[in-house]
């Protein structure tokens, strides 16, 4: 995980994150990359779709909304199966205003299994919101791609990849 100690003494914010591990019928995982010019966190690494919950939203509703906004996939919230691994992390985040803050995050992840192979589903996905690229990653490549801090550890702990 990123350093939890706010080394620059920035203003701190806390975010509860809801994310989705989306599997195609042939076992590929949908991942995206953010636009580094738009700020945010982890813009130079692959990650599963997700983001902060909004007031009044449940975690599955937030995961469904973020999935729709970032990938174009419209999946009902009741299809999101909770993964019993809650993660945490902290890193510098650049807000839309340009202010840099220290962002402490709680990661809540959900698993979704879609009908259709990755080659079929790629036609139904389009990067949106703050993502500029989407890719269906074969399971054997998950350990080798550059992921967000703690991403590979999560995939190993959840049993999606072998621990390295």
pLDDT in tens, 109-128: 999 999 999 999 999 999 98
Question: What does the pLDDT average to over 129-133?
Answer: 84
Work out the pLDDT band at 94, boundaries 50, 70, 90.
confident
Give phi and psi for 99, each to the nearest 5: -70, 135
Tell me how far apart the alpha carbons of residues 95 and 100 are, in angstroms, rounded to a whole number. 6
What CATH number does domain 12-157 carry, 1.10.10.10, 3.90.79.10, 3.40.720.10, 3.30.70.120? Answer: 3.90.79.10
Question: What does the pLDDT average to over 5-18?
Answer: 94
Whole-model pTM: value is 0.87
34, 46 contact by CB (below 8 A) = no
Question: What does the pLDDT average to over 17-36?
Answer: 93
> Where along the chain do its domains lie?
12-157
Please give the DSSP secondary-structure letter assigned to residue 75.
-
> Residue 38: its pLDDT value, please?
64
C-alpha separations of 60 from 54, 115, 132, 133, 148 in Å:
12, 19, 24, 23, 21
The rounded radius of gyration (Å) of the Cα atoms in the chain is: 15
Question: What does the pLDDT average to over 147-159?
Answer: 90
Strands 12-23 and 100-113 turn out to be parallel
């Amino acid at each position: 995980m990123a350093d939890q100690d706010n080394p620059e003494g920035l203003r701190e914010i806390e975010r509860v994150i809801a994310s989705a591990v989306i599997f195609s019928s042939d076992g590929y995982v949908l991942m995206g990359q953010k636009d580094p010019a738009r700020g945010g966190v982890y813009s130079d690494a692959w990650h599963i779709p997700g983001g902060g919950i909004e007031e009044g939203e449940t975690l599955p509703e937030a995961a469904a909304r973020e999935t729709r906004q970032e990938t174009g996939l419209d999946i009902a919230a009741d299809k999101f199966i909770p993964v019993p691994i809650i993660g945490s992390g902290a890193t510098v985040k650049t807000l839309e205003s340009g202010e840099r803050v220290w962002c402490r995050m709680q990661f809540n992840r959900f698993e979704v299994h879609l009908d259709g192979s990755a080659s079929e589903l790629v036609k139904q996905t389009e990067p949106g919101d703050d993502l500029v690229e989407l890719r269906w990653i074969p399971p054997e490549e998950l350990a080798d791609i550059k992921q967000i801090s703690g991403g590979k550890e999560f995939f190993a702990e959840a049993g999606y990849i072998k621990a390295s």
